Amino acid sequence: MSFEITGKLIARYPIIQRTESFRTREFVIEKTDDVNGRIINNYIKFQLVQDRCNFIDKYNDGDNIKVNFNIKGSKWEKEGKVNYITNLDAWRIEGSAVNPVTSLPIDKTPDYNTSQEKLNPSPEVVDDLPF
């Protein structure tokens, strides 16, 4: 199942290395709804996994973001007791129209071109700073 929701980013947590090959990161958005003139605030925590853990880095607390996510559930048994766990697994994050710099989907690989041309500017560029 795939869903999307828009809200304000209010918290980002550090990456947690669960096993040698599995890592997760959580973040929270605030979703505000007007229900018959009454403002309702909901706080929704999402999980990023593996190579998606850095998706939230380009956003700041207070930014409006759209989150595409899947709902995943699992059953967990320990000492005869059964628990059910639900995760909201985010797989894409986009900035809102309010901040056009972050409006591109972040699941695209950024261009980290470190060619010598970018590292060594052309000779006609003069650095006149005294330090």
Mean pLDDT of 102-130: 43
Look at residue 8 and tell me if it is in a domain.
yes
Look at residue 125 and tell me if it is in a domain.
no
Look at residue 87 and tell me if it is in a domain.
yes
User: Residues 65-110: pLDDT tens digits?
Assistant: 999 999 999 999 999 999 999 999 999 999 864 443 333 344 444 4
The residue range of the domain holding 57 is: 2-119
Residue 102 is predicted with a pLDDT of 35
3-state secondary structure of 75: strand
User: Residues 21-39: pLDDT tens digits?
Assistant: 999 999 999 999 999 999 9
Backbone angles phi, psi at 111, to 5 degrees: -90, 105
Tokens (6 digits) for 128: 């006149």
What does each C-alpha distance from 43 to 7, 30, 40, 46 come to in angstroms? 9, 5, 10, 10
Domain count, the chain: 1
Look at residue 34 and tell me if it is in a domain.
yes
Residue 66 and residue 73: Cα distance in Å, rounded? 22
Look at residue 130 and tell me if it is in a domain.
no
Look at residue 29 and tell me if it is in a domain.
yes
Neighbours of 27 (CB within 10 A): 22
Look at residue 127 and tell me if it is in a domain.
no
Mean pLDDT of 43-57: 95
Look at residue 98 and tell me if it is in a domain.
yes
Is residue 105 within 8 Å of residue 124, measured between CB atoms?
no
Instruction: Say whether pLDDT at 112 is over 90.
Output: no
Handedness of CA 125, 129, 130, 131 (dihedral sign): negative
Residue 97 is predicted with a pLDDT of 44
The CATH number covering residue 49 comes to 2.40.50.140
Instruction: Say whether pLDDT at 122 is over 50.
Output: no
Question: With bands split at pLDDT 50, 70 and 90, how would you rate the model's confidence at 2?
Answer: confident
Mean of all residue pLDDT scores within the chain: 80
Question: With bands split at pLDDT 50, 70 and 90, how would you rate the model's confidence at 40?
Answer: very high
